């Protein structure tokens, strides 16, 4: 059987580490040329180098996804390098802990922090989608996966701005899926608790409580999230669009 993403060109944001890095590596192993983007230039370059070290093809791009011109330049650079864009994984994101709001209930969140989380996670994803959709429409279609969260489909105490942004990602993804069907498939993934830097703040404060509530009694390896994204970007998911897929060790089944 051929590799899942053979011959495809794919852009991954938030690819300096965590889920994005593992996804970029898997996509390359599955045959894609990968544009690795992040605001963290060193981390993005390392991911691209890791891909090359396993015989894959990659470029690294630096972009702050809250800046319209940087998003445009990022998508244009990916298209220029690989002549087309078949898939995009819009994965970059921050949590409350990044803006000093870890552990705070809704009425205790600061306004600037709320704005920042929503701007990175929601507006940043929309800016990316806007550019990607235009390229995909010109080149026969494609598949886009946006990273939401369990906090994009349910409430989680202390995640106010984060939950708002991730619910927004799910709504925006479903809307675009209806608008661009069948040419472009758009889906969201909703990871459970994943072993990355983003989760460190929450694990430090209440790691035992978190683990106790996960049926698998462990965090996800970022590779386990990447597998679902790889399938959604591939032609094997040809009838899957407009959905928010949970990958959560059973968390939402309870």
Ligand X SMILES: NC(=O)c1ccc[n+]([C@@H]2O[C@H](COP(=O)([O-])OP(=O)(O)OC[C@H]3O[C@@H](n4cnc5c(N)ncnc54)[C@H](O)[C@@H]3O)[C@@H](O)[C@H]2O)c1
Q: What residues have CB less than 8 Å from 248, skipping those under 6 apart?
A: 150, 190, 191, 192, 193, 214, 220
User: Do 104 and 145 contact (CB within 8 A), yes or no?
Assistant: no
3-class secondary-structure state, position 11: strand
Distance of CA 209 to the CA centre of its chain: 26
Show which residues are catalytic.
162
Residues with Cβ within 8 Å of 238's Cβ and at least 6 positions away in sequence, in order, are: 185
Report the C-alpha gap between 148 and 169 in whole angstroms.
6
Half-sphere exposure of 105 (CA within 13 A, CB side): 1
State in angstroms the smallest separation of the CB of 248 from ligand X.
9
Please report, as ranges, the residues that interact with ligand X according to CB under 6 A. Answer: 13-14, 16-20, 38-40, 43, 63-66, 91-94, 120, 124, 147, 149, 191, 193-194, 196-199
CB of 101 to ligand X, least distance (A): 14
């Amino acid at each position: 059987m051929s590799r899942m993403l053979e011959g495809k060109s794919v852009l991954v944001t938030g690819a300096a580490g965590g889920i994005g890095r593992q996804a970029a590596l898997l996509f390359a192993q599955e045959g894609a040329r990968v544009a690795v983007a992040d605001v963290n230039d060193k981390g993005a370059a390392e991911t691209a180098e890791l891909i090359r070290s396993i015989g894959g093809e990659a470029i690294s791009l630096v972009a702050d996804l809250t800046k319209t011109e940087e998003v445009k330049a990022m998508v244009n650079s990916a298209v220029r390098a690989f002549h087309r864009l078949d898939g995009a994984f819009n994965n970059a994101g921050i949590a409350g802990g990044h803006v000093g709001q870890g552990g705070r209930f809704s009425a205790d969140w600061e306004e600037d922090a709320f704005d920042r989380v929503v701007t990175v996670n929601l507006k940043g994803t929309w800016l990316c989608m806007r550019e990607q959709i235009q390229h995909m429409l010109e080149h026969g279609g494609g598949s886009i996966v946006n990273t939401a969260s369990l906090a994009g489909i349910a409430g989680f105490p202390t995640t106010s701005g984060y939950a708002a942004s991730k619910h927004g990602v799910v709504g925006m993804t479903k809307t675009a899926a209806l608008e661009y069907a069948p040419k472009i498939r758009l889906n969201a993934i909703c990871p459970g608790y994943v072993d990355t830097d983003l989760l460190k703040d929450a694990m430090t404060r209440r790691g035992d409580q978190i683990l106790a509530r996960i049926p698998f009694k462990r965090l996800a390896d970022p590779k386990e999230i990447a597998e679902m994204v790889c399938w959604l970007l591939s032609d094997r998911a040809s009838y899957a669009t407009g959905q928010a897929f949970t990958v959560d060790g059973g968390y939402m089944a309870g």
